[in-house]
Amino acid sequence: MPTAQYVFAQAFPSYREARSNEYKSGVLEALRYRFGEIDRMQCPFGSGTAQADAWHAGTDEGHRRARDTRVATDSESATGA
């Protein structure tokens, strides 16, 4: 099973459109949570701020990438790839 950091690195190649540090922090936090590396997610930014909005948007991507990674990994396991 890939680690959160590995999936995160794959999500942000050098040619991808730039994202804020807050957004990327949210992606990584969600990945770490979904891969069992942390027990809970906690936004480090004040509620109602642009930084918090970016962080939460990033968590959406992180959850999606974790889900997609698990589906791909499960498919590979089922086919013996």
Structural domain includes residue 65: yes
For residues 57 and 13, give the distance between their C-alpha atoms in angstroms, rounded to a whole number. Answer: 19
Structural domain includes residue 57: yes
Mean pLDDT of 11-32: 97
Structural domain includes residue 81: no
Burial code (b: 16+ CB inside 10 Å, e: under 16) for 28-57 equals bbbbbbbbeeeeebebebeeeeebbbbbbb
Instruction: Supply the pTM of this predicted model.
Output: 0.86
Q: Convert the pLDDT of each residue in 42-75 to its tens digit.
A: 999 999 999 999 999 999 999 999 999 977 666 5
The percent of residues above 90 in pLDDT, for the chain, comes to 81
Structural domain includes residue 30: yes
Query: Is residue 62 within 8 Å of 27, Cβ to Cβ?
Result: yes
Query: Is residue 23 within 8 Å of 55, Cβ to Cβ?
Result: yes
pLDDT in the model for residue 74: 62
Residue 81 has pLDDT above 60, yes or no: no
Domain of residue 29: give its range. Answer: 1-10+20-40+49-70
Structural domain includes residue 79: no
Query: Is residue 56 within 8 Å of 28, Cβ to Cβ?
Result: no
